[in-house]
């Protein structure tokens, strides 16, 4: 499945507008079809039908462009997801700073193990007053529970013009709310790199 998604991402550079939207839809349908065959053998217990999760993160990131440090910038990130059942989920997120922003729309599904997921979607980027850029992306996430309400996690997302990596640790304040501390590394579509730490909270309904 990842090989197929990578191929779609490479093709995305040569298409735009309505064609790109059709590719996004086709890719998502393909992921669902393949997953139902056997990739998602174990449903995600946290992705029941109608389960909702919302959250907020703030990152204090150091910006580097062309090998030159350009100071720090704050990223405000809002996100939400809804369970579709049988280990599937849909998600949306938006990150905003003074001159850079991006919005993700996508689907995710567990594979083999309930704490490992694949994702596919589209990121719309607006960077330093440059023309907006739409990228199909693929990615993966993993979460491993530890003791006393703690867990570690990591996510990786890659499009033709960006890369986004996050690793962190969460603490469950109760069964429906968590706080987290994380490190983020984001290479945007304008040749800049953002690195630093952040934290936030999320809630389940």
pLDDT digits (tens, 9 = 90+) for 57-77: 999 999 998 889 989 999 999
pLDDT at 128 (0 to 100): 66
Dist CA 183 CA 88 (whole Å)? 26
Sign of dihedral through CA atoms 94, 133, 143, 151? negative
pLDDT digits (tens, 9 = 90+) for 117-173: 899 999 998 876 665 788 899 999 998 899 999 999 999 999 998 999 999 999 999
Most confident range (mean pLDDT) of 32-41, 96-105, 151-160 is 151-160
Q: At 6, which CATH number?
A: 2.40.128
Structural domain including 39 reads: 2-204
Dist CA 143 CA 178 (whole Å)? 13
Please tell me the total count of domains within the chain: 1
- 46-55, 91-100, 183-192: segment of lowest average pLDDT: 46-55
pLDDT at 95 (0 to 100): 92
């Amino acid at each position: 499945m990842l090989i197929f998604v990578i191929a779609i991402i490479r093709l995305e550079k040569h298409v735009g507008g309505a064609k790109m939207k059709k590719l996004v839809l086709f890719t998502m349908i393909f992921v669902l079809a393949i997953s139902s065959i056997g990739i998602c053998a174990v449903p995600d217990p946290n992705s029941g039908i109608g389960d909702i999760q919302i959250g907020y993160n703030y990152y204090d990131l150091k910006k580097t462009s062309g090998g030159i440090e350009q100071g720090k910038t704050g990223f405000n990130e809002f996100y939400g997801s809804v369970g579709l059942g049988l280990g599937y989920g849909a998600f949306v997120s938006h990150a905003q700073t003074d001159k850079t922003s991006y919005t993700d729309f996508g689907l995710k599904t567990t594979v083999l193990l309930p704490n490992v997921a694949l994702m596919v979607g589209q990121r719309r980027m607006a960077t330093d007053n440059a023309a907006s850029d739409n990228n199909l992306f693929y990615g993966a996430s993993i979460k491993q529970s530890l003791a006393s309400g703690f867990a570690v996690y990591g996510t990786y997302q890659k499009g033709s013009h960006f890369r986004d990596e996050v690793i962190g640790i969460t603490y469950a304040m109760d069964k429906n709310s968590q706080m987290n501390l994380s490190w983020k590394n984001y290479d945007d579509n304008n040749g800049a790199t953002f690195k630093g730490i952040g934290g936030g909270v999320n809630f389940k309904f």
